[in-house]
Amino acid sequence: MAGIYVHIPFCASRCIYCGFYSTTGTLHHWQDRYVKAVLAELELRKDYLGGEAIKTLYIGGGTPSLLSPDNIRLLAHGLRTMNDKVPSQQAVAIEEFTMECNPDDVTPYLCSVLAEAGINRVSMGVQTFFYDRLRFLRRRHRAEDVPRAVEHLRKAGINNISIDLMFGFPGETIEEWEQDMERGIALDVEHISAYSLMYEEGTPLYTMRERGLITKDDEGHSAEMYDRLLDRLSEAGYVHYEISNFAKQGFRSLHNSCYWNGTKYIGLGAAAHSYDVNSRQWNTSDMAAYVRAIESGEVPMEIEISDARTRYNDMITTVLRTTEGIDLGKLNTQEYRYIMKNAHKSINAGTLEVVSGRMRLTRKGLYISDEVMSDLIWV
């Protein structure tokens, strides 16, 4: 089974760390046309998945919670009826339907709209509970908005909630990170994603560092924070199933697991990516150009055909992120010899291990996963 991702590029303001495509100040002028264009793209590409039924839906961004209730309903209905157009021997229900929301957008009315639309999972970018850091990141919400949002979602019957947390801020102490973790755990949400603050080229945060306005946190210090994260969330009953993701039993993100496990998915909207095993496609990162092209009956995209080596490299950078790791039995003889030869250094260093026929990162290797993966890439 497959998944559908929809990219909503609208934001009220842009966070300094965000490298995703988004646009500010265009919501009221463009959102109606944009949502209609996304649904038109879905119709144009309904055969892309080769008849596979849809199991997961995900509306991300950007800030999807800025959409009007009518557009949320319209978009959700169009996505949920996709399976009606897919040849299948039996009816298939959507198992997981996620929408990203800003905590300050989550009102009782919005929650009722989401529940009515069939959205059964909400992901919120909390990042931190410290006021000064929220302002530093240019987040719009306040710390007190988060527990209120969780309460509203629960009352609406949405009982699969995920939050994002960040660590490794300039000047952040271990004690401050522990406070953020404790406040996140106290929410008793089903899923937590936690990321080290990244300085992605092209973002305001990257520019601030390059100009010497801020200093990036020491790698060793951030690694200690990550260690504390692994220990504390495990104590709190969360299962660590991917480098940055933790879930209570039965609440792993099914949609994001599509990306890590090589499942097919369609990406709809400006800058959205798609994968059908044989190729990767990505739409233009220009909302106006996207809408106009779709309205003319064309999908403005680029495509990269996947050969055997590309698929092997994709596996390294996705499957190895999961705690289950790579099933070596699924590799052909050439791939198996290559990966074992190139994994030798990391296995000796204790950053990779092979257990029951699967190659996976050790705890020591988790924080330097990019370095470990680069040794396994087939060049």
Average pLDDT value for the chain: 95
At residue 238's C-alpha, the angle toward residues 20 and 328, to 5°, is 75
List, for residues 295-316, the tens digit of each pLDDT value.
Answer: 999 999 999 999 999 999 999 9
Q: What is the dihedral of CA 196, 200, 205, 208, to 10 degrees?
A: 120
List, for residues 115-172, the tens digit of each pLDDT value.
Answer: 999 999 999 999 999 999 999 999 999 999 999 999 999 999 999 999 999 999 999 9
Longest dimension (CA), the chain: 60
List, for residues 178-193, the tens digit of each pLDDT value.
Answer: 999 999 999 999 999 9
pLDDT of residue 82: 83
Return d(Cα 266, Cα 49) in angstroms, integer. 7
Given a cut of 90, is residue 254 above it in pLDDT? yes
Return d(Cα 74, Cα 86) in angstroms, integer. 20
Return d(Cα 50, Cα 133) in angstroms, integer. 46
Predicted confidence band at 73 (pLDDT cuts at 50, 70, 90)? very high
pLDDT of residue 305: 94
Tell me which residue has tokens 């298939």: 92
3-state secondary structure of 200: coil
The highest-confidence range among 76-85, 258-267, 336-345, by mean pLDDT, is: 336-345
Query: Half-sphere exposure of 286 toward its Cβ, with a 13 Å CA cutoff?
Result: 9
Given a cut of 80, is residue 216 above it in pLDDT? yes
List, for residues 35-53, the tens digit of each pLDDT value.
Answer: 999 999 999 998 898 888 8
Give the DSSP H/E element, type plus range, for residue 260: helix 254-261
pLDDT of residue 80: 92
pLDDT of residue 195: 96
**Alpha-carbon distance values, 367 to 196, 370, 372 (Å):** 10, 8, 10
Return d(Cα 126, Cα 47) in angstroms, integer. 37
pLDDT of residue 1: 72
Return d(Cα 372, Cα 379) in angstroms, integer. 15
* Percent share of the chain, pLDDT over 70: 98
Predicted confidence band at 83 (pLDDT cuts at 50, 70, 90)? confident
3-state secondary structure of 320: helix
Q: Are 128 and 141 in contact (CB under 8 A)?
A: no
* Percent share of the chain, pLDDT over 90: 90
Q: Are 174 and 205 in contact (CB under 8 A)?
A: no
Given a cut of 60, is residue 13 above it in pLDDT? yes
Radius of gyration, CA atoms only, the chain: 21
Instruction: Give backbone dihedrals phi and psi of 190, rounded to 5 degrees, phi first.
Output: -80, -20
pLDDT of residue 89: 42
User: Residues 353, 355, 357, 363: is their CA dihedral positive or negative?
Assistant: negative
Query: Half-sphere exposure of 163 toward its Cβ, with a 13 Å CA cutoff?
Result: 26
Tell me which residue has tokens 């306005």: 213
pLDDT of residue 345: 96
| Helix axis angle, 308-318 to 254-261, nearest 10° | 140
Whether the bond between 62 and the residue before it is cis, its omega within 30 degrees of 0, is yes
Return d(Cα 70, Cα 238) in angstroms, integer. 36
